């Protein structure tokens, strides 16, 4: 039996494997993943997968830019990012969910909804990271009965502890040049808390992201471009995401002034989910059960 946080993590990761594009690709990726983390995984080898996510993803890259190819590739990348972030968060109070109404608590969905006049228009957020408070309501053993009950219980707990939640929206795209303007504009909207003179508001039913303990908006890309040297600190695509609140990341090692490795997102955005311990200490404790408690990661 696990707490409600780890129950939610398991269901979030299980859901990834129901997507054909991810499941099919993962059967190819896993050999490389196991090589990278080694026979005796350590916190370092797990975290360092973030430096190699692009090369892992490109093992199943398909040439061409047809809409179907772009869509399935985007879904696979989103899912790989979500899988990796949850793997690095095992044992913590942070869970990362690829957009899914069955799993994301309704108060959180309401809080991040942007309305243009009376029309609700959700962000193009692909992934939601939720950091729950260090409270027994979340950390005691939880009797899981069904997804419906899990969602109902989470909704009630999030209402009760709303101002203690940390929420991060993570937009993931395979192509950087084509998509950098999207996270830039959404981050502006969220940071502004809406534009009353343009009849744009944020939040529904009395829930507003301004009441979260912490809120961030991040961008993560492969990127699909093969020549990374073309990305300079003054390149338009780089400048567009340079100052977004949650940071700009890619599936490669950090390149100062260009993009951070995805492994750096934890220090910047999710530290409170590991307190009062540290991410490496929690990982060290939990990676010994990857084959049992966390077998759903399929490592």
Burial of 145 from C-beta contacts in 10 A (0-12 / 13-18 / 19+): exposed
pLDDT value at position 70? Answer: 47
**pLDDT < 70 positions in the chain:** 62-72, 117-125, 193-198
Q: Which structure tokens are listed for 264?
A: 């750096």
Instruction: Residue 132: name the closest of 153, 101, 110, 115 by CA.
Output: 153
Task: Report whether 223 contacts 175 (CB < 8 A).
Answer: yes
H or E stretch including 232? Answer: none
List, in sequence order, every beta strand (DSSP E) within 49-112.
94-98
Query: How far is it, in rounded angstroms, from Cα 234 to Cα 261?
Result: 19
pLDDT value at position 61? Answer: 76
Query: Within a 13 Å sphere around the CA of 172, how many CA atoms are in the beta-carbon half?
Result: 30
Query: How far is it, in rounded angstroms, from Cα 154 to Cα 136?
Result: 13
pLDDT value at position 198? Answer: 64
Domain ranges of the chain: 4-297
Burial of 163 from C-beta contacts in 10 A (0-12 / 13-18 / 19+): exposed
pLDDT value at position 120? Answer: 66
Rg of the chain over Cα atoms, rounded to whole angstroms, equals: 19
Query: How far is it, in rounded angstroms, from Cα 48 to Cα 41?
Result: 11
Task: Report whether 169 contacts 216 (CB < 8 A).
Answer: yes
pLDDT value at position 258? Answer: 95
Read off the pLDDT of residues 10-23 as tens digits, 9 standing for 90 and up: 999 999 999 999 99
Q: What are phi and psi of 148, to 5 degrees?
A: -60, -45
Read off the pLDDT of residues 117-146 as tens digits, 9 standing for 90 and up: 666 666 555 799 999 999 999 999 999 999
- Residue at token pair 């009353």: 196
Task: Report whether 296 contacts 26 (CB < 8 A).
Answer: no
pLDDT value at position 225? Answer: 86
pLDDT value at position 4? Answer: 97
């Amino acid at each position: 039996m696990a707490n409600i946080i780890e129950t939610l993590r398991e269901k979030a990761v299980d859901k990834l494997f129901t997507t054909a594009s991810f499941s099919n690709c993962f059967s190819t990726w896993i050999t490389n993943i196991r090589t990278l983390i080694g026979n005796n995984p350590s916190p370092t080898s797990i975290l360092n997968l973030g430096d190699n996510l692009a090369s892992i993803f490109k093992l199943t890259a398909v040439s061409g830019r047809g809409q179907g190819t772009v869509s399935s590739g985007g879904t696979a990348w989103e899912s790989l990012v979500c899988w990796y972030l949850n793997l690095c968060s095992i044992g913590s109070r942070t869970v990362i969910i690829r957009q899914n109404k069955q799993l994301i608590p309704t108060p959180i969905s309401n809080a991040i909804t942007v309305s243009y006049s009376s029309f609700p228009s959700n962000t193009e957020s692909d992934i939601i990271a939720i950091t729950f408070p260090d409270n027994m309501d979340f950390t005691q053993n939880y009797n899981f009965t069904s997804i419906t009950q899990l969602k109902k219980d989470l909704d009630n707990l999030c209402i009760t502890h709303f101002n203690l939640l940390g929420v991060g929206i993570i937009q993931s795209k395979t192509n950087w040049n084509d998509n950098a303007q999207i996270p830039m504009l959404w981050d502006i909207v969220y940071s502004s808390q809406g534009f009353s003179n343009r009849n744009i508001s944020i939040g529904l039913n009395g829930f507003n992201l301004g009441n979260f303990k912490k809120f961030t908006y991040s961008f993560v890309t492969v990127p699909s471009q093969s020549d990374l040297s073309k990305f300079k600190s003054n390149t338009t695509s780089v400048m567009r995401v340079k100052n977004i609140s949650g940071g700009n990341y890619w599936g490669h090692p950090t390149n100062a002034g260009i993009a951070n490795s995805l492994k750096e997102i934890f220090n910047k955005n999710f530290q409170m989910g590991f307190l009062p311990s540290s991410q490496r200490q929690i990982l060290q404790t939990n990676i010994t059960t990857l084959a049992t408690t966390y077998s759903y990661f399929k490592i």
